[in-house]
Amino acid sequence: MSTLQNDANNNKVFWGCFIALIATGFGFIARMFLINTWAAEFGLDPAQAGRLAGIGIWPFAVSIILFSLFIDKIGYKVAMLVAFLGHIIWAIMGVSAYFISKGGNPELGFQLVFWGSLILALGNGSVEAFINPVVATMFNKEKTKWLNILHAAWPGGLVLAGLITIFIDHVPWFIKVGLIAVPALIYFFMLIGSKFPKNERETAGVSYKEMLQEFGIYGAAVVSFLMTLQLMDFFREIDPNYFIGLGVAMVVAFGIYTQRLGRGLLFFLILIMLPLATTEIGTDGWITGIMEGVVKFHPGWVLVYTSAIMCVLRFYAGPIVHKLSPLGLLVLSSILAIAGLLWLAGANGAFIIFAAATLYALGKTFFWPTMLGVVSEQTPKGGALTLNAISGIGMLAVGTLGFPYIGVLQTQEQQDALASSPKVAEITPTLVQDGKFTALTDKNIYEILEYKAIDDAVVTKTIEALPEDKQEEATAVIKETKEQSNQKALGKMALFPGIMLACYIALLLFFRTKGGYKPVELETGDQLPANSES
């Protein structure tokens, strides 16, 4: 890391950014580990618990995209301060929620956790809004390498916070929530007096309007679509047509101002980001719950283990990228992720589970930062907007579509397992007829994804109608069957890296027609004509 050692300020800024990203990992894993605890404490049903999980994810995209539109004007330090305030306010609200809930007001406690999670997500988005362009600017000749090293902090935060959370599993949960204040204070004091670099786009003289044109109507349409879905779900009491109209208006206004569809290559990369985010963040968010009924050890160990592998490997991304090229690395990563998920879906026993998890971790390690590197290298005129917007779109995608769809895959596997279980058919014959589970209800996600879910009310009534000596056994059999079947959903999730593999191969062939993959470098004077807006 000689480049860093040659500049004390850059060294301090880089590691401050690194610790800021560690803080986001602390916030993420603490909430994921506590969802079931909060569901029990606040009396939440699965849908409400899922909504609580989602509120800590999707607002990330709001802050990272909004900041990217004007971060060059206000400066990176302002974004850093917003991030710090988001982390500290969440810590205060989360800790307060514990004592208020235990003091006899769980409803207010839930509200503090819910809205505090939103503030945390906004703070996390603010972190990525400044760290990605800062590092891409400081190391503009080796963007993919240094973005990979930077993003070793995310799994690093998951490992540190995960280990602490597992080892203090039985302490009051306010301690787990408050831990985020430690890295937050560290990065604040490291960065508050540091000098941030000027963005590469600005240095090259590329105008603000040209930055927006690089993103274009294509990018705006994807953001608008995902944001509309999320707002429709979050504000269910409001007529969804208002949000649809708002989304259309956003795209139209963006199109009128930019008068550009945007880079076709960037649009393709944005589309790839949808399955990529679901493969990495979606699986990380669900893996603990999925493995809970399968393993005898704390299921959080699987996430901590895969995160540790990611953290170590991202530090050595430079030689690997040099050997394979960014797209070659993404092709190999997709293949490993597919194999790892398929193996995990049927793995039994601790040794086999961790072996399969190793393969999956090797696959997912380089996805996110290498994609950021490709976007930054191929669309440098997009500045902070294109670099950060693709992260925001990824988070929006996993929060609005990825998490719910993984849940749909799980409920489908549960239904198949219950229908094929001889024990379930024997104890509750009315629930299984002609090889099909009958206690189902029709549901949909955002009115666009229809599926059948298990009707828990019907299952409960059926069990209550059994003789008393059979009720406990029936409840245990159905619960165990459902929990053990969740693991098979991981096999279906291999579809996401499968889509990515096809896309990356297509990109390899595309760049081969152009003489191979080469980063686009901006030079001073790469600006618009004099009559363009700045």
Assigned architecture for domain 263-517? Up-down Bundle (1.20)
Q: Which of 480, 505, 418, 487 is nearest to 453 (CA)?
A: 418
Residue 487 pLDDT level (bands cut at 50, 70, 90): confident
User: How many residues belong to the chain?
Assistant: 534
- The yes-or-no answer to whether 7-198 and 263-517 have a common fold is yes
Beta-sheet pairing, 436-437 with 432-433? antiparallel
Q: What is the pLDDT of residue 222?
A: 93
Q: What is the pLDDT of residue 452?
A: 84
Check pLDDT > 80 for residue 459: yes
The CA dihedral of 421, 424, 430, 434, to the nearest 10 degrees, is 10
Check pLDDT > 60 for residue 456: yes
User: Locate tokens 């002609």: which residue?
Assistant: 434
Residue 521 pLDDT level (bands cut at 50, 70, 90): confident
Check pLDDT > 60 for residue 530: no
Mean pLDDT of the chain: 86
Q: What is the pTM of this model?
A: 0.81
Q: What is the pLDDT of residue 289?
A: 66
Give mean pLDDT, residues 184-197. 94
Q: Round to whole Å and give the CA distance between 3 and 131.
A: 17
Ranges of each domain in the chain:
7-198, 263-517
For 10, 31, 99, 297, 355, the CA distances from 173, given in Å and listed in that order, are 37, 10, 10, 20, 31
Residue 408 pLDDT level (bands cut at 50, 70, 90): confident
Residue 442 pLDDT level (bands cut at 50, 70, 90): confident
Q: Which of 415, 480, 418, 419 is nearest to 452 (CA)?
A: 415
Q: Round to whole Å and give the CA distance between 356 and 89.
A: 39
Which phi and psi angles does 442 have, rounded to 5°? -80, 135
Check pLDDT > 50 for residue 177: yes
Cα 183 to chain centroid distance, Å, stands at 20
Q: What is the pLDDT of residue 46?
A: 61
| Residue 433 bridge partners (DSSP) | 436
pLDDT (tens digit per residue) in 307-316: 899 999 998 8
pLDDT (tens digit per residue) in 98-146: 999 999 899 999 999 999 999 999 999 999 999 988 998 888 888 888 9
Beta-sheet pairing, 440-445 with 432-433? unpaired
Q: DSSP class of residue 279?
A: I
Q: Per mean pLDDT, which of 54-68, 130-144, 403-417, 516-530 is the most reliable?
A: 130-144
Q: What is the pLDDT of residue 531?
A: 31
Helix residue ranges, H only, 325-349: 326-346
For 56, 215, 229, 343, the CA distances from 511, given in Å and listed in that order, are 38, 20, 34, 32
Residue 446 pLDDT level (bands cut at 50, 70, 90): low
Q: Name which residue leads in pLDDT, 21 or 416.
A: 21
Check pLDDT > 50 for residue 179: yes
Q: Round to whole Å and give the CA distance between 234 and 38.
A: 19
pLDDT (tens digit per residue) in 285-294: 667 666 766 6
pLDDT (tens digit per residue) in 226-243: 888 888 877 778 888 898
Q: What is the pLDDT of residue 285?
A: 67
User: Locate tokens 């605890």: which residue?
Assistant: 37
Check pLDDT > 60 for residue 524: no
pLDDT (tens digit per residue) in 27-54: 988 887 888 789 888 887 666 776 787 7
Q: What is the pLDDT of residue 412?
A: 84
Which helix (H) or strand (E) segment holds residue 441: the answer is: strand 440-445
Reduced DSSP (H G I as helix, E B as strand, rest coil) percent helix, strand, coil of the chain, to 5: 80, 5, 20
Helix residue ranges, H only, 259-325: 264-277, 283-291, 300-314, 317-324
Q: Round to whole Å and give the CA distance between 14 and 139.
A: 10
Structure tokens at 201: 């786009």
Give mean pLDDT, residues 249-272. 93
Q: What is the pLDDT of residue 286?
A: 67
Q: Which of 79, 77, 197, 66 is nearest to 127 (CA)?
A: 79
Q: What is the pLDDT of residue 244?
A: 92
User: Locate tokens 């959903």: which residue?
Assistant: 489
Q: What is the pLDDT of residue 532?
A: 32
Q: Round to whole Å and give the CA distance between 223 and 228.
A: 8
Q: What is the fold of 7-198?
A: Growth Hormone; Chain: A; (1.20.1250)
Residues 250 and 224: beta-carbon distance below 8 Å: yes
